[in-house]
Each structure stands twice: as C-alpha cells, then as structure tokens.
Amino acid sequence: MRLERPLLFFDLETTGLDTDRDRVIEFAGIKAFPDKTQERFESFINPERPIPAEVTQLTGITNEMVADAPTFQELIPALQKLMKDADLAGYNVINFDIPMLESEFKRCSTPLPGPANRSVVDPLEILKKHEVRTLSWAHRFYMDEEPGEGHRSMEDTETTMNVLRAQIRKYGLSGSVAEIQQEIRYPYLDGGRRLKQEGDQILINFGKYRGKALSYIRQVDPEYISWMRENLGMEVARILS
C-alpha cells in the first residue's frame, strides 16, 4: 500500500453502541507516515456519565480509570493534530467509530478534522468482500496465530493494522489508500452503500428513490438532496457537493 499522506489506524471504546447518545471512553491511534515512521497516541476519556457494568466487564475500563481523564472537549486539540492531515483506517470504523467521533465533535461544535477528500480503509469491508468473520477470526486467519483477549483500544488497533497489512498482501491490493478504497467498494461510492456508480450515472441505493439517478433527483426533489447531505455522513456529503 502506497501512502500519499499519513494513515491513522484507530479504535474507540465507548459507553455503548448508540452513536447519538453514548460517549467515547478510550481512543487509541497509530499514525503511519509515508516515510514508514509511526506515531502512537492513546488516552482514556471521561464520558461525564457512569460506564455501564457490561461495558466495564467487556473492556476492563472502570469509572475510576476515567475519573481524572480529559473530557472529549479537552482532548479535541490533540485529536485535531492527529487527524487533520490523515486518511483513516480501522475495523468497522465506517459503520461505528467514525459516526461516533462525528457525534462527539458535533456536540463540541467542532467539525471532524481531516482532509476534505479523506479516504477510509476498513478491514471489515475487505472481509465482507472476501470473507465474513470477526476481527479475532481475521487475526487467526491472516496471521496464523491466536489473538490476545482484545477489547482494549490499542490492542485492537494493533490487530487491525496487522490484519490490514496481511489482507493487502493476500489479495494483491495496491496503489494509494484512495485507490484501495475504490477497488474494495466498487461499484458503490460510500461505505454505507447508499450511492452506486452505473456507467456515467450515480444511482441512489436506498429509500424511495432506490435505483433512480442522482441527476434525476436533483431535478425533481432538490430538498431530498439537501437532506442526504445533512444526514448521511461526510462521505455522502462530499459526493453530493
């Protein structure tokens, strides 16, 4: 894989799975640079609410461990520095981690930092294309060894980075992060598979306009385009801009 700019592998631990209501309690990232150097960052985050018992049981993160940690608002400068120039990579980040971060930044009245043409590589997308399994299964399959217990951000982040590298070798993926993303998703244009390329047309792949061309919807229902831009995440908004 050729890096044209930094690639940030990251993972979150959270109080739950609701990206609107739950909060991040741990962030870990490994920033890989084109010159092959790396920068690591990890921090507990005070969610300013109790951590559910089942989350503590799963992750080992207790209320005491986050009590003196920075809030998300306080961590924003460090995250902005980490993310402002980077593409992103992580297991299931498209469906969960990125929407969770977008919600956290939005609550702080701050946009998610990063390049306007950011690419995202998610090993789960590659698994969906070639296999359908869990991260632990992926580690055993690609690395031929048992994974650790997991459920801590840095350990899962390292596993994700190693799995993605093994996938790139196994499936002969090459080119830039953006080119790999395009190869994995084709003919879909976004991680949620809401927009699809068909010839020279972009088609809607959900809802009342499923199968209709974007150019047609712009003519008959421009308000629907505005709704999509505001509610379907940064990837769809970028395509529609």
* Average confidence score pLDDT of the chain: 92
Mean pLDDT (whole number) for 106-126: 93
Look at residue 191 in the predicted model and tell me its pLDDT: 87
- Overall pTM surpassing 0.75 (yes/no): no
Percentage above 70 pLDDT, the chain: 97
Q: Which residues of 30-53 are buried (b: 16+ CB within 10 A; e: fewer)?
A: bbbeeeeeeeebebbbbbeeebee
pLDDT in tens, 179-189: 999 888 889 99
Q: Give the residue, 56 or 129, on which the prediction is more confident.
A: 56
Q: CA triplet 142, 146, 62: central angle to 5 degrees?
A: 115
Look at residue 132 in the predicted model and tell me its pLDDT: 55
- Give the model's confidence band at 150: pLDDT under 50 very low, under 70 low, under 90 confident, else very high: low
Q: Identify whether the C-beta of residue 135 lies closer than 8 Å to the C-beta of residue 128.
A: no
Q: Is the pLDDT of residue 100 over 90?
A: yes
The CA distance from 195 to 240, in Å, is 10
Look at residue 143 in the predicted model and tell me its pLDDT: 81
The CA distance from 193 to 187, in Å, is 9
pLDDT in tens, 198-212: 999 999 998 899 999
Tokens at residue 65, please? 């461990």
Q: Identify whether the C-beta of residue 143 lies closer than 8 Å to the C-beta of residue 163.
A: yes
Q: Identify whether the C-beta of residue 213 lies closer than 8 Å to the C-beta of residue 197.
A: no
